[in-house]
Amino acid sequence: MTGGSGDLRLWGYDDRVAGSAEDGARVGRVVQVDRGECDVVTAAGMVRAGSDSVRAQAEMAPVTGDWVQVTSQHEVVLIGRVLPRLTALTRRDPAERDAEQVLAANFDIVGIVSGLDRPLPPGRFERMLVMARDSGAAIVILLTKADRAPDAAAAAETVRAVAGDVDVLTLSARRDLGLDHLRSRLGPGRTMALVGASGSGKSTLVNALARAEVAATAKVRSSDRRGRHTTVARRLVLLPDGGGMVLDTPGVRALGLIDAQEALSRVFSDIEEHGLSCRFSDCAHGAEPDCAVTAAVERGEMDPRRLQRFLALRDEVEQQRVREEQRARAAARGRR
Ligand SMILES: Nc1nc2c(ncn2[C@@H]2O[C@H](COP(=O)(O)OP(=O)(O)OP(=O)(O)O)[C@@H](O)[C@H]2O)c(=O)[nH]1
Ligand SMILES: [Mg+2]
Ligand SMILES: [Zn+2]
């Protein structure tokens, strides 16, 4: 992991990153974050850096994938500024209601991973699609363990029904199926962040792409095919031969949406399009007269369950927004 800045380009360093750093600053990319410390790859190689000693508490905390400025004080490397993020995966912090938690930053593609050894609930894809859409990156759905599915093509079709314009690929890390196609979407300096349930095969896919056992994997429970939360840290892995990077993440239990109104509209663009013909421009697609969305359901043009799932996600996002507003008002009162 040593070498000149040429190596840093393999990690995605480019003119945009260079332009956002202060003149003469030492920059690096966060490869992994552990309590208070990060592994950061710099032009001089990998360094271990303290993450919060020099930054004010209110500033952005570094996450895996971030470009940062590093400084050295008496042999100790510290992270200074976190450079502006191009893309970011965010969710509602499960520990702190309504706070935003950034899971990963500066990836070009989000790979939504799901194993074909388990049922594929459409609502789970829709939720992950909203989160991925909100990140600002390109998206691909990766259906892994194709070798375990009696009819992978049929399973992929059911996912395509909710995927909109997002590509759905079927893969097998075990049989090396579809991996070359996936590699063709990466390449030097490009990063793909993997998200998906525990046991879906994210780390196995990382190892297959890396052609080495770089990430720990574990068998799913035989009773219900659920994973064991094997991966515990988000980690950026450099692929061989200028193949880009994959960002492995732990399987997520909760994916609360935060501030995702626009992404929601895009993922459910079919509903939004029908909605343009509703009588009321602010139609909630419930009991309103002349609602074009419920009419489409009645005509059999739209799956009523998809509408229900949309309404539930919309309520979740709306309630979160209302709470956020209340909190901002309370904070403003406190300042007066
Ligand atoms: N048959 C088959 N099994 C696979 C494939 N990909 C992954 N698996 C198995 O699925 C299990 C879970 O894989 P992991 O890669 O650990 O899953 P993960 O998504 O990283 O899980 P967490 O780290 O817990 O989030 C392991 O037993 C893998 O061997 C595949 O393509 N085919
Ligand atoms: Mg894993
Ligand atoms: Zn309506």
pLDDT per residue as tens digits for the range 165-193 = 999 999 999 999 999 999 999 999 999 99
pLDDT score of 222: 79
Q: 283 falls in which pLDDT band (50, 70, 90)?
A: very high
- Of the candidates 129, 105, 92, 104, the one whose C-alpha atom is nearest the C-alpha of residue 324 is 92
pLDDT score of 52: 60
Atom of ligand 1 lying closest to residue 113 CA: 19
- Of the candidates 70, 108, 69, 58, the one whose C-alpha atom is nearest the C-alpha of residue 88 is 108
Whether the pLDDT of residue 194 is over 80: the answer is yes
Give the Å distance between the CA of 195 and the centre of ligand 2. Answer: 10
CB 168 within 8 A of CB 150: no
For a mutational test of ligand 1's pocket, the pick from 204, 213, 221, 224, i.e. the residue with the most ligand atoms closer than 8 A to its C-beta, is 204
Give the Å distance between the CA of 298 and the centre of ligand 3. Answer: 13
Give me the mean pLDDT over the 214-231 stretch.
84
Residue nearest to ligand 1 atom 23, measured at CA: 231
CATH 1.10.40.50 residue window(s) in the chain: 268-335
Going through 52-177 in order, the beta strands assigned E by DSSP cover: 67-73, 76-82, 88-92, 100-105, 109-115, 138-144, 167-170
Sign of the alpha-carbon torsion through 157, 248, 86, 6 = negative
Residues 2-31: pLDDT tens digits? 444 458 999 999 999 999 999 999 999 999
Give the Å distance between the CA of 216 and the centre of ligand 2. Answer: 7
Starting from the CA of residue 144, give the closest ligand: 1
Atom of ligand 1 lying closest to residue 248 CA: 20
Which of the pair, 248 or 333, is modelled with greater confidence?
248
Starting from the CA of residue 113, give the closest ligand: 1
Q: CATH classification of 268-335 is 1.10.40.50, yes or no?
A: yes
Give the Å distance between the CA of 214 and the centre of ligand 2. Answer: 11
Starting from the CA of residue 289, give the closest ligand: 3
pLDDT score of 55: 54
Instruction: Count CB-CB contacts under 10 A for residue 142.
Output: 25
Give me the mean pLDDT over the 118-129 stretch.
94
Residues 265-279: pLDDT tens digits? 999 999 999 999 999
pLDDT score of 6: 52
The class level of CATH for 5-82 reads mainly beta
Give the Å distance between the CA of 261 and the centre of ligand 3. Answer: 17
Kindly tell me the burial class for residue 326, based on how many C-beta atoms sit within 10 Å of its own C-beta (0-12, 13-18, 19 or more). Answer: exposed
CATH 2.40.50.140 residue window(s) in the chain: 5-82
Atom of ligand 1 lying closest to residue 173 CA: 31
Starting from the CA of residue 217, give the closest ligand: 1
Alpha-carbon distance of 196 to 27, in angstroms, equals 30
Whether the pLDDT of residue 130 is over 90: the answer is yes
Q: 59 falls in which pLDDT band (50, 70, 90)?
A: low
Give the Å distance between the CA of 218 and the centre of ligand 1. Answer: 7
Atom of ligand 1 lying closest to residue 251 CA: 25
Which of the pair, 105 or 101, is modelled with greater confidence?
105
Atom of ligand 1 lying closest to residue 175 CA: 31
Helices 304-335 and 122-135 meet at what angle, rounded to 10?
Answer: 40
pLDDT score of 289: 95
CATH 3.40.50.300 residue window(s) in the chain: 88-248
Give the Å distance between the CA of 40 and the centre of ligand 1. Answer: 27
In single-letter form, the type of residue at position 153 comes to A
Starting from the CA of residue 273, give the closest ligand: 3
Whether the pLDDT of residue 306 is over 70: the answer is yes
Residue nearest to ligand 1 atom 7, measured at CA: 201
Whole-number Cα distances in Å, 138 to 28, 110, 157:
24, 6, 20
Pocket residues: Cβ below 6 A from ligand 1: 144-145, 147-148, 172-174, 196, 198-204, 217-220, 227-231, 250-251
Q: In the CATH hierarchy, which fold is given to the domain comprising 88-248?
A: Rossmann fold (3.40.50)
Mean pLDDT of the chain: 91
Task: Work out whether strand 191-195 and strand 109-115 pair parallel, antiparallel, or are unpaired.
Answer: parallel
Q: 1 falls in which pLDDT band (50, 70, 90)?
A: very low
Whole-number Cα distances in Å, 93 to 15, 102, 117:
33, 8, 29
Atom of ligand 1 lying closest to residue 231 CA: 23
